Amino acid sequence: MTDRELPPGLREQLELGYGPGGLATFGQRPFLSEPEQLDRWKPDVAIVGAPFDLATSYRPGARFGPRAIRSDAYEAGTYHLDLGLEIFDWLEVVDYGDAVCPHGQAELGHANIKARVAEVAGRGIVPVILGGDHSITWPAATAVAEARGWGNVGIVHFDAHADTADNVDGYLASHGTPMRRLVESGAVRGVNFVQVGLRGYWPPRDVFEWMRAQGMRWHLMDEIWERGIHAVIDDAVGEALEGADHLYVSVDIDVLDPGFAPGTGTPEPGGMIPADLLRAVRRLARQANVVALDVVEVAPAYDVADTTVNNAHRVVFEALAGLAARRRDAAGGEAGLPSR
């Protein structure tokens, strides 16, 4: 039996919105803290914070990303103009709080992230994970693979960097290594791992040779410039779901050009524009069987006018809108477009 009743006081706090008062949950959605509440509420999506940045190799600060994405983003409403739908009429979303990431205890932090994501994914709920540095994708995607089928989950990974190094300064769980760990473990098959937006000067040739040997595919920024984002996303979906049933989307905010996302640990010029990234994520969520999303590497201390935070927030909102539209499409619903 589904129980989605909120006490009046909690509803009042949520409705205060993103102003100086109220409870700062993602999208002002109901806050749940216990697995038993997930069982009663039966949401479609649960937001999970992963405030962890012990694995960064350059500028730290992504541990503050989940809080900033929840509380600092400008939120103008929940009716999606392009899709003509009220997102939360079609999709039940809750905020399931944060994994406990104790200071200086990287292994425990990763274990706690995996456990909290598992509480969500194991119930068939879509986890949306707010990072944190990109190392959090290793435990988070592992938990999703365990819930949905080992080797049966493909990943579309938006990033400036491949994050497939064997180690960074001898550290195997760096934010530069999570994708290698996932492929090596078998949680995600190399042939189902697709990367979009890579550019710059790292990693070196030997890492790409390892990636090619695993069957991984990638689409550099040069290809996006030459062919356009539509063609690249067409290819990425087909590649990621070649023999897999489920899709995990991982968005490192540094896939955007630093002019649009200065608040990140390893900015790399020459990246995507928000219009392309947001619509690409929306399209993936609407057309593919997306079972998890993470948005990582938002470091608000380096941000300017909450530009990075707002873009990260909108990545999640576009994913939610795509999931809602997918549900509406399946139900035979129609779009209610704004009048001209």
Digit-coded pLDDT (tens) for 199-242 = 999 999 999 999 999 999 999 999 999 999 999 999 999 999 99
Q: C-alpha dihedral over 302, 47, 97, 89, to 10 degrees?
A: 120
Q: Is there a contact between 1 and 42 (Cβ–Cβ < 8 Å)? A: no
Alpha helices in the chain (DSSP H): 8-15, 35-41, 65-71, 87-90, 106-121, 137-148, 178-185, 205-213, 221-227, 229-240, 274-287, 307-331
319 has pLDDT over 80: yes
The pLDDT, as a whole number, for residue 253 is: 98
- The Cα–Cα gap between 93 and 44 comes to 6
What is the band of 20 on the pLDDT scale with cuts at 50, 70, 90? low
340 lies in some domain: no
The pLDDT, as a whole number, for residue 45 is: 98
- CATH number at 80 reads 3.40.800.10
- The Cα–Cα gap between 34 and 29 comes to 15
Structural domain that includes position 14: 8-331
- The Cα–Cα gap between 323 and 275 comes to 18
1 lies in some domain: no
Provide the terminal-to-terminal Cα distance of the chain, rounded to the nearest Å.
Answer: 43
243 lies in some domain: yes
* More confident of the two residues 17 and 207: 207
What is the band of 15 on the pLDDT scale with cuts at 50, 70, 90? confident
**Mean confidence (pLDDT) of the chain:** 94
Task: Give the bridge partners for 314, in sequence order.
Answer: none
Percentage of the chain lying above the pLDDT 90 cut: 89
* Mean pLDDT computed over 319-333: 96
The pLDDT, as a whole number, for residue 330 is: 95
183 lies in some domain: yes
154 lies in some domain: yes
Q: Please list, residue by residue across 265-276, b when 16 or more beta carbons sit within 10 angstroms of its beta carbon and e when fewer do.
A: bbbbeebbebeb
The pLDDT, as a whole number, for residue 17 is: 59
Total structural domains within the chain: 1
336 lies in some domain: no
The pLDDT, as a whole number, for residue 337 is: 57
Digit-coded pLDDT (tens) for 46-82 = 999 999 999 999 999 999 999 999 999 998 799 999 9
